């Protein structure tokens, strides 16, 4: 659904990523709970609770998927606020919209199928832009960060919640075992789809580490860039401002 926004062509690589998420869309929430033992809910709560956003704000949640972040943002922006949920994948957006309606959230939401690398929004149109567990899947991350910067208003905040590099040496082998052995097996068992979860584990491993991502945000034009590790660096929250 585009709600009057211009359609953006989606490249081949992005189509591939799109297919991975089409195959997991229905089981997505269950798998998140299984893989993280429910901790992803805590990370998401913390991510939204610490974002700088006020009542009445207009917020873009990129790679919004099944809508966890958007639903949490509702409480922060209130009834007068507006939340745009953007995702490249139509199946994820549809699950997101259904979930949102089930949660009683109907007004103040827009669903836009779009590629984070080329956003169909004018400059300076949002107070906050979030992307949770999404940047990792974007092919041209620098382009996505530049686009997040472009669509932010002056003074606006960008926030990235993403898997990162665990900091403690003793924890690394345990974490790798979970990622490359347990995770694909859980995928096979519960979603009949080990390959997609193998892909997810690899994408986590390849994603830039904390300091590298911070530098990418600076290069994209953000000011006052910083990050905070959660759960020993399993995930990190990066923050930047448009000044
Ligand atoms: N933010 C949600 C959450 O935290 O539960 C969903 C995260 S899910 C792991 C990643 C989402 O990124 C998928 O819904 C996928 O369709 C979307 N995605 C992947 N590449 C994208 C791109 N280039 N632009 C926009 N969304 C993208």
ipTM summary value: 0.98
Q: Which atom of ligand 1 is nearest to the CA of 61?
A: 1
Cα distance between residue 124 and residue 114, in whole Å: 17
What CATH code is carried by the domain that includes residue 98? Answer: 3.40.50.150
Q: Which atom of ligand 1 is nearest to the CA of 21?
A: 16
Residue 28 lies in a domain: no
- The predicted-structure confidence for 205-217, as pLDDT tens digits, reads as follows 899 999 999 999 9
Q: 10 Å Cβ neighbour count for 56?
A: 12
Residue 163 lies in a domain: yes
Residue 175 lies in a domain: no
Distance in angstroms between the alpha carbons of the first and the last residue of the chain: 32
This prediction has a pTM of 0.88
Residue 216 lies in a domain: yes
Residue 31 lies in a domain: no
Tell me how many domains the chain contains.
Answer: 1
- The predicted-structure confidence for 130-182, as pLDDT tens digits, reads as follows 999 999 999 999 999 999 999 999 999 999 999 999 999 999 999 989 888 88
Structural domain of 84: 37-167+208-241
What is the chain's mean pLDDT, rounded? Answer: 88
Nearest CA to 26 out of 204, 198, 193 is that of 193
Q: Given the structure tokens 């997040």, which residue do they identify?
A: 148
3-state helix, strand, coil in the chain (%, to 5): 50, 20, 30
Residue 61 lies in a domain: yes
Residue 58 lies in a domain: yes
CA torsion through residues 158, 161, 165, 171, sign: positive
**Which range has the worst mean pLDDT, 41-55, 56-70, 93-107, 170-184?**
93-107
Residue 24 lies in a domain: no
Tokens of 80: 């007068």
Cα distance between residue 196 and residue 232, in whole Å: 25
Q: Is 105 annotated as a binding residue?
A: no
170 CA to middle of ligand 1, Å? 31
Q: Are 135 and 208 in contact (CB under 8 A)?
A: no
Which residue is closest in CA terms to ligand 1's atom 16? 89
Q: Which whole number is the average pLDDT over 103-118? A: 90
């Amino acid at each position: 659904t585009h709600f009057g926004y211009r359609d953006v062509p989606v490249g081949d690589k992005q189509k591939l990523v799109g297919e991975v998420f089409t195959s997991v869309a229905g089981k997505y929430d269950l798998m998140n709970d299984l893989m993280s033992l429910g901790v992803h809910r805590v990370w998401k709560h913390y991510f939204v609770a610490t974002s700088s956003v006020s009542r009445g704000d207009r917020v873009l949640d990129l790679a919004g998927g099944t809508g966890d972040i958007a639903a949490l943002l509702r409480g922060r922006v209130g009834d007068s606020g507006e939340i745009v949920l953007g995702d490249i994948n139509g199946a994820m957006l549809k699950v997101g919209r259904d979930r949102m309606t089930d949660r009683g959230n109907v007004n103040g939401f827009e669903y836009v199928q779009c590629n984070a690398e080329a956003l169909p929004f004018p400059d300076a149109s949002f107070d906050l832009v979030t992307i949770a567990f999404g940047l990792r899947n974007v092919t041209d991350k620098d382009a996505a960060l530049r686009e997040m910067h472009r669509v932010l208003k002056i003074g606006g905040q960008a926030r990235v919640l993403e898997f990162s590099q665990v900091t403690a040496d003793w924890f690394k082998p345990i974490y790798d075992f979970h990622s490359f052995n347990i995770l694909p097996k859980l995928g096979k068992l519960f979603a009949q789809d080990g390959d997609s979860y193998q892909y997810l584990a690899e994408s986590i491993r390849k994603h830039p580490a904390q300091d590298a991502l911070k530098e990418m945000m600076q290069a994209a034009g953000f000011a006052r860039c910083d990050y905070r590790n959660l759960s020993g660096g399993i995930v990190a929250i990066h923050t930047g401002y448009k000044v």
